[in-house]
Amino acid sequence: MLRKLLLFCTLLVTNLTAFSQTIRLTGRVVDTQHQPVPYASVALPDGTAGTATNEVGEFSLIVPPLPQRLVVLSIGYARTEADVSTTAPLTITLPASTVQLPEVVVRNPQRVAEDLVQRAYAKLARHENDTYFGKAFYRQKTRTNGTYDELSDAFYDVELTPQKIVGWELGESRYAAVAGPFHMKNFSTLMRLPTFTRYPKRGSLYLPLAADAAKRFAFTLREIQTENGRETVVIDFQPRPGLDKPAPVGTLYLDRQTAALRRQELRLRMGNMLAFTKGFQPLSDSLRLVSDFAPVADSLTRLASTRGELAVKVQTGSRPPVQSLLSAYLLLYQYTGRLPGQAYGRVKHSTDDLQTLQNRPYNAQFWRENEIIQASPIEEGVIQSFEKRRVFGRL
């Protein structure tokens, strides 16, 4: 009896040890021209582990013991699966989705585009009071003439609707900066722009998903992407002349059958909304925001991630111009129910991210051991450079 008990305990310990082991996979996702595919989804088929590639197509993902199969998804590319049996760095190639313009669409592409946009808006408006909760990771960094001079990371508990993020509570965070041309104190405000609007408020942007949007925007059907029988209609838009408010140009990706929103791309100028360090004069700026949406019940979608890139060129005196690139990434890495005791404070446009994060102590151990960070895009070199300069937590 004792021998059987010892054998059982040995087997149990062995199984638990094997179960607890994990493997880190790294690699790149590229297209058929060997160009990187940024922000592609890389995950296990059952969704128990996943991440996104960074801006140069790199990824890092912690998975159970090999062999494993990875599923890689990105709008505009065919779904791709890769069997993995080694920890050597991977290169995964994504072929482009099949593109078509059926004859019935070509006859009146503008009308087809306008009707589908209105269906998408109507679907979102009907569900504007639906509420979801989740956990989000936010990363923002600024690079000036090739050198990083600002970085912030933060974890949030988030409350959101199909329209926007309505509330969040800050958890662990870190901030590091050195002198630079400008520091965005509330860039997350732009990352939380509403998906749609019923009636534009004073001073706000016009958005392409809105009531009577066809009066303010011209919509053009570019193509229809087909992947595994699913059709995504790609619609470009631009503001009509004479608008009394700022309006972006960009692209909508909509499900042809259900009108569900899959991606929204916005591009606009910031102008006098930017503030610069004393002595620096702005020469040009360009902002690009891309939001991806994940499926949810009843052919709806909800926010999965938003990424933003702000390119700014400034000059001081007679010195050569300086080029700064601010990039940010907001990832909803887990959807939850409403967490007990969590207030989900309402998000204000006046939120000063810089001051809030700057006042938080830097918990180096938390960031070294956190699995979400370890599975996020590979940027250890950037983090280490700030740690070596001992600038986390101060400006």
Residue 47: name the closest of 335, 337, 378, 338 by CA: 335
Please give the CATH topology (third level) of the domain spanning 2-96: Immunoglobulin-like (2.60.40)
Higher pLDDT, 11 or 291: 291
Answer yes or no: are the C-beta atoms of 50 and 37 closer than 8 Å: no
290-319 mean pLDDT: 86
**Per-residue pLDDT at 349 exceeds 70:** no
Q: What is the pLDDT of residue 252?
A: 97
- Whether the model clears a pTM of 0.75, i.e. scores above it, the answer is yes
Q: What is the pLDDT of residue 227?
A: 79
Q: Give the percent of the chain with pLDDT over 70.
A: 84
202-230 mean pLDDT: 87
Q: Give the percent of the chain with pLDDT over 90.
A: 34
Which residue blocks in the chain are alpha helix, DSSP H? 2-20, 103-106, 109-126, 188-191, 353-358, 364-369, 371-374, 380-388
Residue 365: name the closest of 175, 177, 172 by CA: 172
Residue 175: name the closest of 208, 146, 199, 152 by CA: 152
338-360 mean pLDDT: 80
The average confidence (pLDDT) of the chain is 82
Question: Which of the residue ranges 78-82, 151-155, 175-179 would you say has the lowest mean pLDDT?
Answer: 175-179
**Per-residue pLDDT at 13 exceeds 50:** no
The torsion angles phi and psi of 391, rounded to 5 degrees, stand at -115, 5
Answer yes or no: are the C-beta atoms of 303 and 208 closer than 8 Å: no
**Per-residue pLDDT at 146 exceeds 50:** yes
28-38 mean pLDDT: 92
Higher pLDDT, 129 or 1: 129
Higher pLDDT, 202 or 162: 162
**Per-residue pLDDT at 12 exceeds 60:** no
The torsion angles phi and psi of 17, rounded to 5 degrees, stand at -65, -45
Burial of 368 (0-12, 13-18, 19+ CB in 10 A): exposed
DSSP character at residue 133: E
Amino acid identity of residue 363, one-letter, is N
Binned at pLDDT 50, 70 and 90, residue 152 comes out as confident
User: Tell me: the pLDDT tens digits for 71-99?
Assistant: 998 888 988 999 999 999 999 999 988 77
User: Tell me: the pLDDT tens digits for 308-341?
Assistant: 998 988 787 778 888 888 889 888 888 889 999 8
SS3 37: coil
Please list the residue range(s) of the chain that carry CATH number 2.60.40.1120.
Answer: 2-96
36-54 mean pLDDT: 82
